[in-house]
Structure 1
Amino acid sequence: MISLEQMKNSMNSGANVLSEDGAVLGPMGQLYVDDATGEPSWVTVATHKMGNPESFAPLNGATLDGHDVRLPYTHSKVYDSPKMSQDGHLSPEEEQHLLRYYGLMAPKDGDVVADERTSDAGAVRPQSSRPEGDYAMTRSEEQLRVSTEIRETERVRLVKRVVTEDVTMTVQIRREELVVERVPVKDGTPFYDDGKGSYTDAERERLYSAVETAFNGDTVEVVLYEEKPRVELDVVPIERVRVRRDVHTQDEVVGGQVRKEVIETERVEL
């Protein structure tokens, strides 16, 4: 078992983590120690590209190769290991998940989870682990993030339709009516009853010329006229209808449930 002091010296010297055949897995990352015993329990190694989570490997059965740390596992075993969030702490559930992957704990039997891990050194109860020298714990909480999205509510079109309605108007029209006037003739000279006086010479001549055709038949034709209403249709512009969009802003209250972690201290009697 590599001691904590030896692991610190390896980290300070920029050591690498090796696979069981001596191949370099990558530079040593963080050293995790057991919360209960303070002994080194896990080491991280950058087996992937920059920005990806580091791989966790147990130090159970590891040995020193100079300053480097050689693990009893193949390159692919460490490379394919479950990736954990490096928030400064391995919970018991995360540690059990890694122990089952590396074969240091019996696999789940249905819904029953084994509470112990087996190794060459005997049965050891799994504990949560933290980075060496780190006695802090990260507290997390959920926060609401509200954004907006644009969606259609309705579509409006301007459509012209033709409707018919009855319109009534009053118009003044004129018409001619026939009026018959009878003028008596006295002593061969006609006089108007309305006080206009006697006929003129021209009228008297027409009067006596008419007598010459007496009893021969005569016809006088008079044409009467009147106005009739005539309806015509004119198309004229009345108004223009335009639609436009106005943006109105209003406050809307949204809410949701968020979770947050609370850190408490527990005292264990030794």
Structure 2
Amino acid sequence: MLGHGYLNALMNAKSTVYGPLREKVGTLGNIYMDVGSGDPDFVTVRLGLFGSEELLVSLRGAVFTDGHLQVRFSKDVIRHSPSVDPGIKLGDAEKALLDGYYSAMDPDTGE
């Protein structure tokens, strides 16, 4: 997860989000903060034609490269993530669902 110091970098990031192989995944959307720590832990990524699909992706292991956000997960992994409405506040149940999915899909710890 990116620490609190990365919030400004996230807010100022160029809009393209890249996957682990530097492939374009989509466009950066909203930033979700952990209530306890105040650190960003998820962002939305807009996929598809004209950004018609907006999905949440974990910031675990994410880095900034050349002003762009690079996440650990491919477009396919993000596209198959649990359906969570990106327009609502993430509750404990939604965060647990997303954390479980992205933990299982993590290239270093999952399958």
TM-score range for the pair, normalised by the shorter chain length: 0.7 to 0.9
Unpaired runs of 5+ in structure 2? Answer: none
- 8 A contact 1:15–1:67 mirrored in 2: no
Residue in 2 that maps onto 1:63: 63
Residue in 2 that maps onto 1:103: 103
Q: Kindly report structure 1 stretches of 4+ aligned residues shifted beyond 6 Å.
A: none
Q: Secondary structure at the match of 1:2?
A: coil
Assess, with a 3 A threshold, how the Cα gap between structure 1 residues 59 and 13 changes in structure 2: closer, same or farther: closer
Residue in 1 that maps onto 2:38: 38
Assess, with a 3 A threshold, how the Cα gap between structure 1 residues 48 and 76 changes in structure 2: closer, same or farther: same
What is the CA–CA distance in structure 2 between the aligned matches of 1:15 and 1:60, rounded to whole Å?
19
Assess, with a 3 A threshold, how the Cα gap between structure 1 residues 93 and 75 changes in structure 2: closer, same or farther: same
User: Offset of 1:75 from its aligned partner?
Assistant: 2.0
Residue in 1 that maps onto 2:84: 84
User: Offset of 1:31 from its aligned partner?
Assistant: 0.6
The Cα offsets for residues 199-250 of structure 1, whole Å up to 9 and x where unpaired, read as xxxxxxxxxxxxxxxxxxxxxxxxxxxxxxxxxxxxxxxxxxxxxxxxxxxx
Alpha-carbon RMSD: 2.3
Structure with the higher strand share, 1 or 2:
2
Residue in 1 that maps onto 2:2: 2
Assess, with a 3 A threshold, how the Cα gap between structure 1 residues 36 and 5 changes in structure 2: closer, same or farther: same
The Cα offsets for residues 55-91 of structure 1, whole Å up to 9 and x where unpaired, read as 1111111111121111111221012212311234111
Q: Secondary structure at the match of 1:44?
A: strand
TM-score normalised according to structure 1 size: 0.36
What is the CA–CA distance in structure 1 between the aligned matches of 2:4 and 2:50, rounded to whole Å?
27
User: Offset of 1:38 from its aligned partner?
Assistant: 0.4
Larger radius of gyration: 1
User: Offset of 1:52 from its aligned partner?
Assistant: 3.9
User: Offset of 1:11 from its aligned partner?
Assistant: 2.8
User: Offset of 1:6 from its aligned partner?
Assistant: 2.6
Q: Percent identity?
A: 24
- 8 A contact 2:46–2:53 mirrored in 1: yes
User: Offset of 1:43 from its aligned partner?
Assistant: 0.8
Q: Secondary structure at the match of 1:27?
A: strand
Assess, with a 3 A threshold, how the Cα gap between structure 1 residues 9 and 98 changes in structure 2: closer, same or farther: same
Assess, with a 3 A threshold, how the Cα gap between structure 1 residues 16 and 51 changes in structure 2: closer, same or farther: closer
Q: What are the residue-to-residue correspondences of 1:169-248 with 2, within 5 Å?
A: none
Unpaired runs of 5+ in structure 1? Answer: 105-118, 121-270
What is the CA–CA distance in structure 1 between the aligned matches of 2:7 and 2:82, rounded to whole Å?
23
The Cα offsets for residues 184-206 of structure 1, whole Å up to 9 and x where unpaired, read as xxxxxxxxxxxxxxxxxxxxxxx
